[in-house]
Structure formats: structure tokens, C-alpha cells
Chain A
Amino acid sequence: MIKVFLPYKTRKLFDLPVEIDAEGNNLRNLIEFLDIKYPGLKQELVDDEKLKPTISAVIDGRTTRLGLIQKLDKVSEIHFLPSIAGG
């Protein structure tokens, strides 16, 4: 099981705890797993079969550059966060 942390606003919308357990061998399957458990959640994270440009996924401390095809071997926690603009 992988610990998943969703953005505060998503947690509020779906009435979720801070941490939820999920599984999946890649990010796409993990989100599908979450969507079955919490219908509609996928819409918050995915648009046009891509991770939304406004969302980033931080996998054990590193933001994935690969989006939904990111493999999840031996991953312990994933944070979905708003993408951060800066410069």
C-alpha cells in the first residue's frame, strides 16, 4: 500500500482524511484505484488523460516529470499538490 496525501481542498470536497491508502503499479493505475474508491476523484487530478497542469505529484520527495506513466515500485508516499509557479 502507498500512502496518498491529497490537497486540502480535495480532501474537503470528498470528506477524506489527511492520508489514504492506495495501490497501483503506476500513477495512472493508482488514480484509477482512488477513483473506484472515491468516485469523481480522478476528475480532480486528470484532464485529457494527462495529469492536470495545475497538479504535481511528489513521489517520496521528488516531483515526477513523467506524469501518469510514472512507475511506482517501492514507493511509500505520494503527495498531490497544486503546481507551483515561480521564477
Chain B
Amino acid sequence: MVSKVKKSEYKVIGTRPIRHDGYDKVTGRAQYGADIKLPGMIYGAVLRSPHAHAKIKNIDTSKAENMNGVFAVMTAKDLPRLTDKQRGNSEESGSEKHLSENVMALDKVLYKGHVVAAVSANDVNTAREAIKKIIVDYEVLKPVINVDQAMDKDAPILHEDFIGDHLGKKVKNTNIATYNRYKIGNVDDAFKKCDLVVEKEVELQTVHQGYIEPHSGTAIWDEDDRVKVWTSTQGSFTNRDSVSKVLSLDVSRVKVTPMEIGGGFGGKIPVYLEPIAAVLSKKSRRPVQLVMSRTDVFDASGPAPGGKVIVKIGVDKNGKMLAGYADIRLEAGGYPEAFIEAAAKCVFSCYNIPSMDIEAYDVLVNKPSSAPYRAPGSPQVAFATETVVDEICKKLDMDLIDFRLLNVAEKGTRTALGPKYRKIGLKEVLEAAKKSDHWNSKLEKKSGNGKVRGRGIASGYWFNIGEKSAVNLSLNMDGTVILTEGSTDIGGSRASIAMQAAEVLGINAESVRPSVVDTDSIGHTDVTGGSRTTYATGYAAYKAAHMLIDEITSKAAKIWDISEDDIKYKDGIISSRTDSELNMTLREFADQNPFGPVVSSASVDLEEAAGGFGTHIVDLEIDPETGKTDVIRYTVLQDVGKAIHPSYVEGQLQGGATQGIGWALNEEYFMSDDGKMLNSSYLDYRMPIALDLPMIETVLIEVPSEDHPFGVRGVGETPICPPVPAISNAVNDAIGTRILSTPIKASKILNTLKSM
């Protein structure tokens, strides 16, 4: 593996210490969502709709209520009715009413698996038996399961009472929740000036985040109307906000304790079971735990929007891009939010195009309410854009990287949404790709055994959010430091945050002990998502560490009775600038400090980290007999700003690329006409396994973000954007035709080869 990290002056940053939480995680000691067991705890189960679209006429819970071992039964009537008030922030948007009805349907079910009732009982098997005794009278309606069906003028309407926003116009009886448009320059004139215009339409099936740990929720509702929640979530504070909204409680009445989280990728931002556990607890007067089955996870959580994207790009005879047009239609699922604004922001993000016009539709369909999935919206549009770019290069006979460099977005380039880029690193990434071993290696187009090979390349972008984080530090008597934070640790962020504090304090990474604490114990911290954690919570740790040094300086000055200005702090040694006799280690200071505990506390609320760009190169081999595709070489190049812990940065690049490979080749919600997912198990929803893949080579490019003291840029999401088009382009290189719908599975390749 290639891993180019520039040598730096840093002592901790850029090294690869063992993560602090690692020991618990390799010994089975780490406690995930379903591992918490509370005294007196009972178990819940939910009843889910077997229909994708139906009205609830009546729910009869009497038989379940009378069953031995059952504590309580609930329906949506046990939840307060909420209004259309919008909850807009970068993590959880949409109306409060929709938030509540997605947790439990009131009068209509909008997807198969939609929760309609719940039971608590003394054991989980009794609870599961009890829900079977609940009788629901449904009026089954015709579902719409893709954007074409949903946008048809005669389509069944999901929300009769919902008012869509179509360019500011209020529209009733529509499945288009939002229609928005972004326009820069005179696009019509610009297209007329082009020497070549290429347009492609791509189609994407719904895919799931696929985290291995199912959702869970454990709660106690006590007699003081305080709700304590234990759950596996990407954001304990976002979870607290959502739970308190659904239950109509002040946020201070809800305390969320984040458990270890077994994967999320965006899918563990929404709440599903926590408010149900709370209400069941109130009715049962016991702690209640609910855990989803794998089928529930597929049927009713996540997924990432499928949809259709059209991209048209015009260039002059030299290959300079003049105009771009995009039509983006993404599936929101049962409730609005298909990340169309993000998709619009990302669709032309890698290029400098003077005139752009983007139309975007957020479309309601009878599928689970979509959740963010690693750069939500961006992989979908990258598929279309990078296909068009590949085709333009073929038509102009231009080199795939030179063409991208000719049109590359850089600092000052005006983006499709209007603002100009700050310092970004796509040019550096493309230049590295051009020099890479992979790009310069020769690929034999035919293998010895009758298989055909192809190479593909594609770029992608995610904007890497900032938002709010808080960190507390406390100096121990032995000179080590306790760090408390609110960012749940999905992939090594305890280490990457502690390392930033350690760097400032001049001590080693192991001397900072990080803990992720509950919502009563730290300042508001936004989700572990948006590629923000190492950037924003790391920034808070940086600030808190400087404040801790100020505290140390002030107290050391008192110990020595000298001026604070005379104190020097470097590499964990406190000394006098003027008196060489006066010096002590952090440990010595901590041991003899008589001026009270040394603590600090810092918070940040940050703007985006200016965005991360990546370019992927893939070689694949197709068996024309079976249509099976094997990835035989894969390289990820990405501007990571600054790699705090390079191993975990590489891991993000490898993991994101692998999810993208699955998206490209195998993964899809295979739906029946009546709106049921037919492959809701890991056997049939085919995620990549170890045997499917080669080693994923990574090249870390470091163009520091101007908005972070160490240049951190965020890395987690960008790597899922290029794989789908890179693989599609490679398939075209191998068989000479494009397959522009995901997944590019064996049957599609076989059918394509047969029709050629």
C-alpha cells in the first residue's frame, strides 16, 4: 500500500498509536446498544405494517393486553400530536409531525415495516408473541415505489394533508415534497456556444447503509418525568432533541447515554425505537429495551435514496467546459428529505463551469424514510457527472486526467450554489493520480482465461461539515489528562481527538484518556457524521488544551511566585524563561499544585472544512460467460487535509470505497410491485465480503484546511462518491458499452453482452 504522508514537525499527529478504546473492542468488553442490561429491565417488540401503503382503520390491542407476561401495549395515540413545525439543521430536518409519525404511524402506513404498535413483556419472546395478537384493520392502497411512479400525474398520493414546495409555490396533492432550482450564468446561450454536448441519464436503486449492529433503544421514564435513554446513535444530543420532540418534553428532561456504536454511516442519526421504549417504560414502570431484527433494519431504517439523474455538459473544441445542466430526482421514502440540496451542491463540484442550471426533486415514495448515507446525494450525482466526463474524453480523444485538470475546480471557482471555493485540493489529487503507479501500469485487456478487463477513473466530493462540539479536560495527579467529549466513536475518533490535545500539551497520545459521555455531562455536540468529528471536536480539544496550558501557567506562576509571562510550557515541561533552576514536569506540577484542580472546557461552532475531493482508479475483470465482475486493483487518492491518525484515515478511504463497490456491483432493494423489499437479509442483500476484494491502495494527499489549526479537513464521506462511476466507466472500458443503472450486476452484464 502506498501511503504518502508528509513528514512534519508534529510529535503526535501523523503517528499511529493504538486507539484508546481498542482493548475493550478486541476483548468483547465494549458495550454496544443491545449490550446494556438494567436491573428490572423488560423487553419490547413492535408490530410493523405488512403493506407499503395503507390507511389504518382500527387497531385492536385487547388480546395482546390480556396476555400473560405483557406489561403494556402502545399505539401512536399514546404519543403527543405534533405540528408541521420544521426542524431544520444540518443533521435532522423535516417537520416534527413527520418525525413522530415515522416512529409510529397514526392513521396511515407509508412503507412496509412502518411501526403501528408496540408491546412490552417480561421477555422478548413473549413480547413477540403478543404483537401477533394485535389486530389492525387496514385499507390497502396502491403504492408508488420509484420516482417515475410517484411523479406521474395520476399517482396515488402519500400525504393528502401535505403541502409541497415547488419553487416557493405551495402545492397540494403532490408526491414532490420539494422542487428546487439553482442557476448561475446564462445556460441556454452557453450550451449554444459549445462544440460538443454530452447528456446521460443514470438510474440508481435504493441501497442500505448496512451497519452490522441493528438499531436498539433502552429507556426508563421515571416518576419525575425524566427519561433516560441508552442507545447506539451517531449523535446523543441529536437523539435527545428528537426523543424530546416526539415525547413533547423539554430537552433537559431527557438524558441520552451513548453506547458504543456498531456502524452508522448516517443511518444512526434518526430515532426509531427510543421514544417507543420510553413510552412503554412509562406504562410499564420498568426499564424497557427494544432491538431491531436485520429484516426490520432493511425494511424500516435507512436507506439511501435511489432515483434518476440526468447530466448534460457542454465543452468547446479544446475541452473547456462551458455549460452544465442537471435534473436530479431522488427518493425521499415515506417522509420528505432526499438530500437534493446536497446533491445539487455536489453534482458539478469537481469542475469549473461558468454556467450551470440544476433542477432537483425530493420525491415521496412508499419506501422507508431515507436516512443520510455517507455523503448523502453525492454518489448518486457523481455517477451521472463522471459518466458524462468519461464520454466527453472518449469523444474528444483526450486523456481522462488531463481533461479533468483542464477543468478542475480550485480556490476561487464559483460553485453551482453560488459561493466560491476556499482552498481545496482536487488539483493536487489529480496530479498525484497522474503520477500514481496504478495509472501508469499497463492493463492487459484480455486475461488468459477468456475474461475481459477494463480500467475506470472518477472523482467525487463532499463538503465536510463543521457544527458544534465541546470538550472538557482535567489534569490528573500523575500528569495525564482526562478528556471528555460528546462525539460517539464510530471509527477511532477518540484517538484522533485525544491526539490533537496531546499534540498541544506536548505529551504522548496514551497520556490523554478520552471518554465519550452522556448528554448531562458535556456541552452540546453534534452528530458523528458529515465528516466533522476529527475536524470540529478535534478543534474543541485543541482549544481546551491551550486553555489547560493557560491554567497550568497561571498556577505554576503562583507556585514559583513569578510572573505568568515568565512561564514557558513546552513538551510537558513547565519552566521559567529567566531562571533555569525553575522547571518541572507536568507530573511534578500536578503532584504539588495546591491551587485546586486543573481543568478546562472549550466549545466550537464551525463552518464547513472547505471540502474534500478524491479520485479513484479501478481495474476490473469480467467473465463474459457468467457476467461476474471482479475488482482486481483499486486505488483511492484523496485530499485529507491533515491525517491525524493515518491508519484510521486510510481505513475511512478503504471502507468508503468498499461500500461504493458494493453499491456499484451488487447492492439494491429488490422490490415487488406491491412495494415490499424481497431481499431483506444479508444473504440476499449482497454486501462485499473479504473474498470479493483486493487490497485497497490509498494515497493520502495533504492540502491543509485553512479553517483548522492542524489543517484537518474531514475524510469519511468523500470515498463513497467515486466508486460507482469509476466502476461503470471501467465496465465500459472492458465491454465497450455503458450500463447506466445500479447495480451493475452479472445478469445486466450478461444481457448487455447478449444484445451486442
Contacts and interface: CB of A to CB of B under 8 A. Distances in A.
- Would A and B touch once assembled, by the CB under 8 A criterion? yes
Interface of A: 5, 7-10, 12-13, 18, 44, 52-54, 58, 61-65, 77, 79, 81-87
B549 to A, nearest CB: 26
Contacts of A9: 165, 167-168, 180-181
A85 B376 contact: yes
Interface in B220-252: 234
19 contacts: A8-B181, A10-B168, A13-B168, A58-B418, A63-B608, A65-B466, A65-B606, A79-B417, A83-B88, A84-B463, A85-B90, A85-B342, A85-B376, A86-B376, A86-B377, A86-B463, A87-B234, A87-B371, A87-B372
Contacts of B421: 61
Nearest to B375: A86
Interface string B358-373: 0000000000000110
A44 B376 CA distance: 26
A55 B171 CA distance: 20
A86 B89 contact: no
Contacts of A18: 183-184
A84 B345 contact: yes
Given A81-B417, A85-B91, A87-B530, A61 B167 contact: no
B333 to A, nearest CB: 13
Interface residues of B, number: 46
A34 B419 CA distance: 20
Given A86-B339, A86-B530, A87-B376, A52 B418 contact: no
B168 A12 contact: yes
B365 to A, nearest CB: 18
A58 to B, nearest CB: 4
A55 to B, nearest CB: 8
B32 interface: no
A79 B530 CA distance: 21
B411 to A, nearest CB: 10
Given A9-B167, A53-B88, A85 B607 contact: no
Contact of A12 (B167, B184, B377): B167
B182 interface: yes
Contacts, number: 97
Interface of B: 86-93, 165, 167-168, 180-184, 234, 266, 269, 337, 339, 341-342, 345, 371-372, 375-377, 417-422, 462-463, 465-466, 527, 529-530, 605-608
Contacts of B462: 86
A48 to B, nearest CB: 11
B176 to A, nearest CB: 14
Closest 3 pairs (CB-CB, A-B): A53-B88, A87-B372, A87-B266
B341 A87 contact: no
B91 A87 contact: yes
A85 B87 contact: no
Contacts of B341: 81-85
A83 B377 CA distance: 14
A81 B418 contact: yes
A52 B269 CA distance: 22
A21 to B, nearest CB: 16
A5 B342 contact: no
A85 B338 CA distance: 9
A61 B181 contact: no
Contacts of A81: 341, 417-419
Contacts of B606: 65
A13 to B, nearest CB: 5
A31 to B, nearest CB: 17
B85 to A, nearest CB: 10
B527 A87 contact: yes
Nearest to A10: B168
B90 A83 contact: yes
Contacts of A84: 90, 339, 341-342, 345, 463
Contacts of A8: 167, 180-183
B607 A65 contact: yes
A8 B417 CA distance: 10
Given A10-B168, A87-B91, A5 B418 contact: yes
Contacts of A65: 466, 605-607
Nearest to A79: B418
Which of A8, A9, A18, A85 has most B Cβ within 10 Å? A85
Nearest to A85: B93
A61 B422 contact: yes
Given A54-B88, A87-B376, 8 more contacts: A9-B181, A18-B183, A18-B184, A44-B168, A63-B607, A65-B607, A84-B463, A85-B92
Contacts of A83: 88-90, 93, 341
B180 A58 contact: no
A84 B269 CA distance: 15
